[in-house]
């Protein structure tokens, strides 16, 4: 009887020991990042170069590329198919015209930054879809603009931050509102240039802070 009692006590002791081993105080464990404690990676980035705030930049050069592989549409419809739709300049080389607009915007947006890290900014336009004449003078719409940005060390070509694709849509005026804006000098070119300058400024100073307002823009036309 004593043998059975001893075995029972030993078994009970092992069970208590096993349960106790599960409830180890967390202060004795290595730190594990919880979802709330983990570094939040800005949308569009695969990773951050460091946990601390990214160093401020000084942009020394700006290069804008508009690939000739993009398709150009001259169709005067509400929603023409094409990567490039631009009508405010006279008929001509749309690649050159779009490059000039984006170049000016990127230079304006990156000017006067005085950070300690020198950077070269390269922008590749992936879509530049402004309004046709028909949409401009009737319904309005959305300027759908997408570009890929890359920041590199001017001396070595090393990436300073991961490449990022930025969707920078802007509500486009139509009808009487478009005409009224034009009388104030707010042409499509002026509005798009100012908008892109603001977008790149945000991305250079606070990466990931710019949020494309596409959902709000689409809701505005529903």
**Which pLDDT tens digit goes with each residue over 42-72?**
333 333 333 334 568 999 999 999 999 999 9
Given a cut of 80, whether residue 32 has pLDDT beyond it is: no
Share of the chain above pLDDT 70, in %: 71
Mean pLDDT to the nearest integer, 199-208: 91
Q: Where are the alpha helices (DSSP H) in the chain?
A: 2-22, 94-110, 133-136, 175-183, 188-205, 214-220
For residue 161, what are the contacts with CB-CB under 8 A and spacing of at least 6? 45, 49, 54, 151, 207
Q: What pLDDT is stored for residue 214 in this prediction?
A: 65
Higher pLDDT, 8 or 87: 87
Single out the residue of 174, 90, 82 nearest to residue 128, CA to CA. 82
Q: What is the pLDDT of residues 107-150, one digit of tens each?
A: 999 998 989 999 999 999 999 999 999 999 999 999 999 999 99
Share of the chain above pLDDT 90, in %: 66
Q: What pLDDT is stored for residue 105 in this prediction?
A: 97
Structure tokens at 99: 């490059």
Phi, psi of 128 (to 5 degrees): -140, 90
Given a cut of 60, whether residue 34 has pLDDT beyond it is: no
Given a cut of 60, whether residue 12 has pLDDT beyond it is: no
Higher pLDDT, 75 or 37: 75
Instruction: State the chain's mean pLDDT as an integer.
Output: 79
Q: What pLDDT is stored for residue 209 in this prediction?
A: 81
Higher pLDDT, 7 or 200: 200
Given a cut of 80, whether residue 180 has pLDDT beyond it is: yes
**Cβ(45)–Cβ(167) below 8 Å:** no
Structure tokens at 125: 């336009």
Phi, psi of 14 (to 5 degrees): -65, -40
Q: What pLDDT is stored for residue 54 in this prediction?
A: 59
- Long-range contacts of the stretch 217-222 (C-beta < 8 A, 24+): 217/142, 217/169, 217/170, 217/171, 218/142, 220/171, 221/139, 221/140, 221/141, 221/142
Q: What pLDDT is stored for residue 40 in this prediction?
A: 32
Mean pLDDT to the nearest integer, 2-21: 42
The model's pTM is 0.72
């Amino acid at each position: 009887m004593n043998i059975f009692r001893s075995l029972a006590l030993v078994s009970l002791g092992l069970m208590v020991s096993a349960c106790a081993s599960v409830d180890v105080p967390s202060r004795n464990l290595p730190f594990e990042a919880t979802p709330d404690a983990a570094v939040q990676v800005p949308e569009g980035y695969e990773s951050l170069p460091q946990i601390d705030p990214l160093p401020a930049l000084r942009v020394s050069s700006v290069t804008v590329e508009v690939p000739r592989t993009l398709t150009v549409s001259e169709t005067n419809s509400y929603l023409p198919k094409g990567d490039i739709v631009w009508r405010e300049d006279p008929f001509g080389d749309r690649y050159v015209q779009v490059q000039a607009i984006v170049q000016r915007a990127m230079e304006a947006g990156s000017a006067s930054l005085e950070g300690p890290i020198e950077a070269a900014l390269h922008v590749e336009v992936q879509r530049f879809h402004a309004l046709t004449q028909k949409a401009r003078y009737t319904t309005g719409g959305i300027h759908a603009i997408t570009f890929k940005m890359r920041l590199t060390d001017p001396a070595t070509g090393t990436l300073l931050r991961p490449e990022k694709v930025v969707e920078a849509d802007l509500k486009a005026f139509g009808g009487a509102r478009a005409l009224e804006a034009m009388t104030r000098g707010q042409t499509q070119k002026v509005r798009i240039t100012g908008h892109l300058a603001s977008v790149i400024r945000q991305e250079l100073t606070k990466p990931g802070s710019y949020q494309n307002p596409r959902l709000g823009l689409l809701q505005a036309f529903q």
